[in-house]
Every structure is written in structure tokens, then in C-alpha cells.
Homo-oligomer: A and B are copies of this chain.
Amino acid sequence: MTLIEAVPNVSEGRRPAVIQSLAAAVEGHADVRLLDVSSDAVHNRTVMTMVGPPEALRAALVSLFAVAIDAIDLRTHTGEHPRLGAVDVVPFVPLSPEDMPVCVDTAVAVAETVAARYDLPVYLYEAAARIPQRQRLEVIRHGEFEGLAEKMRASTWWPDFGPRRPHPSAGASVVGARTALIAFNVNLRTTNLDVARDIARHIRASNGGLPAVKAIGLRTADPEIMQVSTNLVDYRTTGLHTVFDAVRTEASRRDVTVVSSEIVGLAPAEALLSTATHHLRLADFTTNRILDYRLRP
């Protein structure tokens, strides 16, 4: 049976009762395994990682949308992380590369269902995009919830499914399919958000920085700590240590130190292993040499 992954990002990271309801909506679907729930109060956002057969995942996502749309009102929502809607973005991710078409089909089915059921505009993105301009999430999300009504006046921003105006409280959602991504944040000891933003601009692929890296500068809960928040969209092209070292180098040029980093959600073992092999200059080491792997039945 084909298993795929879904990683919905929901615009709620502060109210435990709502986050519990979101998890319960997914856990009500027996065939879906909710692997991780990572909430960030400053981002005011929760990233949920789940795995299951496409049809069960589709049903779980429809339930998740119901709870999120009921509980979250973007008109009063504040948070560091950019967002367009209550269920901000839902990527489906193949666990085996050949399952990308299944992920695209599942994304389209979820988009169509939730648009009709909740009267919600939905944009298809990345591998599921039907319009080239909509491949990149940040382009769709540009202007955020607050700019959405104005943005949707142009026919170029009419959604792939649903009404041609925002949902009053839930905004719009972006649903699609993409390869595995690592959400990796590097924390800097500075009170100056512009330092984090400037480093983010410097390292991101779209400005000619590190290939396959997206980056923005954000505040954290601690006013003395600012964050370079990155997405590694192909960790085999640019890995965790390359991003970390680049941020550290740029920070050091600005007399700022790196205090810590964090991975949001889950990460593939290979990404961490390659950091270890890089630092140890380890020759000829693959996941085949990891005892825990070899002990699998």
C-alpha cells in the first residue's frame, strides 16, 4: 500500500486547546499516523507531520480544515510567520520519489473538497500548480491575509478552487505536492531584526545565495534573540551544515554570534548523517553502516 506524508501548517501556535483539537481531528482517522506536532507561540503556527494512505490522509485533512476554520480567525491573528489563511499551507510529500503523482492527485482532491465544503479559496502550488506563477509558495503568500482581498481583485489571483474572494475569517489556503523539505531555524544573539533579515537575504537562493534554500528573518520569544528561518528544499544540494556555517559566517561579519538552531517537525536521517560525516571528514559511511538501520526486520 502506498503511504505518503502530509505536513499541514496551521495558523495557531498559542492556544493548547485548539492545538489539541487539531491533533484530535487527525487522530480520529485510524489509518493516519500523526508523527509530530510542533507549535511555535511566537510564529503562532503549528506544523503537523502525518503519514497514511492517500484516501485516509485526504479525509484527515478535510477534518483538520473543519476544526481550523472553526477555531481560527485571521482578522485577529498575529504572529511572526507570514500566513494567508487558517490552514495556511498543506504540502503532500512522497516517501518514495515515484509517488509524486499520487501526492499531486491527493492535493487536488483535498483542494477541491475543502474549497466546496468550506467556501474557501484554495491555490495549488509546487508540483500541483496549474499556473507557473503559483509554483512558489512565497509568491502566492505575498501580501499575506491582510492584502488578500485586494490581491484577489486581479484575475491572475483567482484561486484554483473556491470563491474569488477570501473566506472572511479563514483567508485562503495553499495546497500542493513537493519533495521533502527541512524547516531549519538558526538563532542569533542580537536585538536587531534587520541583522536576521539581512543574513536571510544574503543566503537565500532567490538572491543568488545558497541553492535550494529559502530564508526569512523573524523575531523569537526572546527579544535578545533573532532568527534566520530557512527551508532546505533539497538537502542533498544544500545541507544543514552548509546553511548553518553560512549563517554563522555572515553573523560573524556583523559581530553577532549564533546561539542555537532548531529543526521544525521531522528530518530525514540522511540529512543529519551528512552533517556528521562532513564534520568528521568520515570516508565511505552510509546509512547502511548504522546499526539501528541494519537491525530492522
**B-contacting residues of A (Cβ < 8 Å)?**
3, 5, 35-36, 49, 51, 95, 180, 240-241, 244, 258-263, 265-270, 272-273, 275-277, 279-285, 287, 289-296
Contact = CB atoms under 8 A, between A and B. Distances in A.
Top 8 nearest A-B pairs (CB, nearest first) are: A275-B276, A272-B276, A266-B291, A35-B294, A269-B292, A276-B276, A260-B281, A260-B283
A294 B36 contact: yes
A280 B275 contact: yes
A263 B291 CA distance: 12
Nearest to A291: B266
Given A260-B282, A281-B258, A281-B260, A290 B276 contact: no
Contacts of A49: 291
A126 B294 CA distance: 26
A73 B179 CA distance: 55
Given A262-B282, A283-B260, A291 B267 contact: yes
Counting chain B CB atoms within 10 Å of each CB, the highest count among A276, A277, A283 belongs to: A276
A280 B261 contact: yes
A269 B266 contact: no
Contact of A281 (B259, B267, B289): B259
Contacts of A3: 295
B276 A240 contact: yes
8 contacts: A35-B295, A240-B276, A244-B280, A267-B289, A268-B291, A275-B275, A275-B280, A279-B279
